Amino acid sequence: MRFDIQTAATPESCQIKTIACPVLTISAEDDRFGTASRAKHIATSVLDGRAVIFPTGGHALVGHSADALREITSFLQVGAPYIPPVG
């Protein structure tokens, strides 16, 4: 939660566009920390990003834990192509 509070309304603290792996962001429109807009921004800024935004649920995604778990499981099952380590 501290990370969300510190970063939700601040400019990017890292170079998001340099992330080279698939990224899944999950939030709710009614999250009062404003993480839904940040989640959308991150997902559209990376090469292989996906945002799942629930209309309700707040910061804890109340009522959407099963849906969120399904999204995470699906995301992890698809996986990413093998990328050999650099160096």
Can you give the pLDDT at residue 21? Answer: 87
Q: Would you say residue 13 lies in a domain?
A: yes
Q: Would you say residue 34 lies in a domain?
A: yes
The answer to whether 22 touches 48, Cβ cutoff 8 Å, is yes
Tell me which residue range forms the domain holding 55: 2-78
Number of domains in the chain: 1
User: Could you report the average pLDDT of every consecutive run of 10 residues in the chain (87 residues)?
Assistant: 65 75 94 88 91 95 95 82 61
Q: Would you say residue 53 lies in a domain?
A: yes
Cα separation, 30 vs 48, in Å, equals 25
Can you give the pLDDT at residue 23? Answer: 92
Cα separation, 9 vs 7, in Å, equals 6
pTM: 0.76
The helix (H) or strand (E) run that includes residue 25 is strand 23-28
